[in-house]
Amino acid sequence: MVSPALILTINYCLTLLKVEAVIGGFGMDNASEFSWNTLAELGYDLSKRSSLWLGYRALGVDYKTGTEMYDLKFDLTISGPVLGEGFRF
């Protein structure tokens, strides 16, 4: 399955900004008809090796599969806040 992705990360002093967008599916090889995922995060370096992240994520999927007797379809969009801690090795 082929899923093109566009990812942009900007680091500035102790403040980190991350923006990510992913588009995939396209109905290829039993994959979803279309799927997308976006993420925007703001982070803060606690030290050289760790950082805290707060952001918002949204993702959507349009999926269809089945036969005449059995058919499964769903079109779903979910979104919400994200909180995380990153570690560098």
Identify any residues that bridge with 19 across adjacent strands, giving them in sequence order.
8, 40
The model carries a pTM of 0.68
Token look-up 């008809």 returns 33
User: pLDDT for 23-74, tens place per residue?
Assistant: 776 666 555 677 888 888 898 888 889 989 999 999 998 877 777 777 778 8
The predicted model gives 9-19 an average pLDDT of: 64
Other CB atoms within 10 A of residue 32 CB: 22
**pLDDT of amino acid 1:** 46
Q: Where are the domains of the chain?
A: 5-87
